[in-house]
């Protein structure tokens, strides 16, 4: 089944009671049982809900996975993943990642004896140097947030498998439309469903998908035990959003390319970070493992002045100054003071998150209007 057909049909069946073509919102906390231990597949909605189950099947199908679980947020999905580890275990992560991921790693899980190493993964030797007997997980974002670094999933997978280490990919920026990380060798794929999968800035949700049965059992055990599940109405909204994922991603990619080329030729712009440029680090890897280059673009201003960046983000009229990304509308943000403020200044500088760096989530508006908006703001 092709991707677009999966997006519309995978995991979904007409309602058995009424024939409704859209999955109903099962707004119920509990379910009547015929006898002790005898039910129709559901007993309590923390453990399982029919609307959530349909969404979990849908997202798993899009990632070519056997098992999927949905959570109250992307960070709740990350929380589930790291809870599979135990005190003394070590994780190797990219040094350029979402600030919320860095925060939960360092301020929550390090307190429980899990050690994290943050390295530049453009060079595989940096990963190899940190591997030891305690290394249990490698954590990747590709494209990374906000520098759009491209990490070779297959190469890291081969390295991980050689040392019996699990590989987790945060696939939020690429989505399963552009990149299917399990097929490239990942063991775990994480999504902030809030972003492109939902696609309309009206839901906060996370997801985790796997193919390994033992990993799936742990995933469902933690999901049920910790209880950070999404509600049925949110699941319904994301099921609706996913039906247009392939169409939306095509437009995100088209608009992203136009914006990136405009910025690259602007005299006030210093550097533009977008995987579609031939001189972007690992551009050839991006071409190999992605179907397109996405709608996320970051750029820095000449002079690298914080005030210049603050002034620019306050002057756009179509690009809205806001957290998050992946919605139909275009957003502009300042990583150093917004999404990545949790990362210490020195570490931000090392990874390229300088004071003048600006991140764009390029939406579905007419590209000409978006370019005009950036042009007037830069002027």
The catalytic site residues sit at 46, 98, 170, 195
Helices and strands per DSSP (H, E), number in the chain: 14, 12
Distance CA 379, CA 374 (A): 8
Q: State how far the Cα of 230 lies from the Cα of 33, in Å rounded to an integer.
A: 23
Residue with tokens 């989505």: 175
Q: How far apart are CA 200 and CA 341, in angstroms?
A: 25
350 class by beta-carbon count within 10 Å (0-12 exposed, 13-18 middle, 19+ buried)? middle
In the block, which residue shows the tokens 């796997």?
Answer: 210
- The closest alpha carbon to 54, from 242, 250, 333, belongs to 242
Tell me the two tokens of residue 186: 């990942």
Asked if residue 55 lies in contact with residue 70, where contact means CB atoms within 8 angstroms, the answer is: yes
Q: What whole-number distance in Å separates Cα of residue 22 and Cα of residue 13?
A: 8
Q: Which residues contact 246 (CB under 8 A, 6 or more apart)?
A: 3, 4, 7, 177
């Amino acid at each position: 089944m092709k991707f677009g057909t999966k997006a519309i049909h995978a995991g979904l069946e007409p309602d058995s009671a009424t024939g409704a073509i859209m999955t109903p919102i099962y707004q119920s906390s509990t379910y009547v049982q015929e006898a002790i231990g005898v039910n129709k597949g559901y007993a309590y909605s923390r453990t399982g809900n029919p609307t959530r189950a349909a969404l979990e099947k849908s997202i798993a199908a899009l990632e070519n996975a056997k098992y999927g679980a949905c959570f109250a947020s992307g960070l709740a999905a990350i929380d589930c993943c790291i809870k599979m580890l135990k005190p003394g275990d070590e994780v190797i992560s990219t040094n350029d990642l979402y600030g919320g991921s860095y925060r939960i790693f360092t301020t929550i899980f390090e307190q429980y004896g899990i050690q994290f190493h943050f390295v530049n993964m453009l060079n595989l030797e940096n990963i190899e140097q940190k591997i030891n007997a305690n290394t249990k997980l490698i954590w990747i974002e590709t494209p990374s947030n906000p520098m759009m670094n491209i990490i070779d999933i297959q190469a890291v997978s081969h390295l991980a498998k050689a040392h019996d280490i699990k590989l987790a990919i945060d696939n939020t920026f690429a989505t399963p439309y552009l990149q299917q990380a399990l097929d490239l060798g990942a063991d775990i794929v994480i999504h902030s469903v809030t972003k492109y999968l939902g696609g309309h800035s009206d839901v906060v949700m996370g997801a985790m998908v796997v193919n390994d049965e033992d990993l799936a059992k742990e995933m469902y055990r933690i999901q049920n035990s910790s209880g950070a599940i999404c509600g049925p109405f949110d699941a319904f909204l994301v099921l609706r959003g996913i039906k247009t994922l392939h169409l939306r991603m095509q437009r995100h990619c088209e608009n992203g390319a136009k914006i990136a080329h405009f910025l690259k030729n602007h005299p006030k712009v210093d550097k533009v970070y977008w995987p579609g440029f031939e001189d972007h680090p690992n551009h050839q890897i991006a071409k190999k493992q992605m179907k397109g280059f996405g709608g996320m673009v970051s750029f820095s201003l000449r002079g690298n002045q914080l005030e210049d960046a603050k002034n620019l983000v306050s002057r756009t009229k179509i690009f809205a100054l806001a957290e998050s990304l992946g919605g139909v509308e275009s957003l502009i943000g300042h990583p150093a003071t917004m999404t990545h403020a949790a990362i210490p200044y020195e570490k931000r500088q090392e990874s390229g998150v300088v004071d003048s760096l600006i991140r764009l989530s390029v939406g579905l508006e007419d590209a000409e209007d978006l370019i005009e908006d950036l042009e007037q703001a830069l002027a």
